Amino acid sequence: MKKEAAVREHGTIDFENDAVRVLRFKYGPNDEYMRHEHIEGVLIFLSDHRIRVTYPDGKTVETTAKAGNTLWDTGIKYLPENLSDRPMELMLVEMK
């Protein structure tokens, strides 16, 4: 899926300039997203989360984290699923 379509379905662009683009994503409870990818950037979790990520080779990884946690997104293609019964919100700062 193209990145722009992914933004339209679950996200908004909060800020953009020549150096960065800041995206805000909201996943509903137990929401399975579509396979997509981003360019490299920093993920900032705005809510507690429990998520499963499935990679193109079929490998799955489940993680939990608290609001305020950050991590580096390498830009690999993946399929995320919110495993929580609560909404999940995060921001992605993409480096251009």
The three-state (H, E, C) secondary structure of 41-77, written as one string: EEEEECCCEEEEEECCCCCEEEEEECCCCEEEECCCC
User: Structurally, how many domains does the chain consist of?
Assistant: 1
Place 7 in a pLDDT band, splitting at 50, 70 and 90. Answer: low
pLDDT tens for 10-47 read 688 999 999 999 999 888 998 877 777 778 899 999 99
pTM, two decimals, is 0.79
pLDDT of residue 3 exceeding 90: no
Is the model's pLDDT at 93 over the cut of 90? Answer: yes
Per-residue model confidence (pLDDT) at position 1: 39
Instruction: Give the model's pLDDT for residue 9.
Output: 63
Token readout for 25 is 């994503």
- Domain hosting 22: range is 3-95
pLDDT digits (tens, 9 = 90+) for 72-86: 988 888 888 999 999
- Which CATH number goes with the domain that contains 77? 2.60.120.10
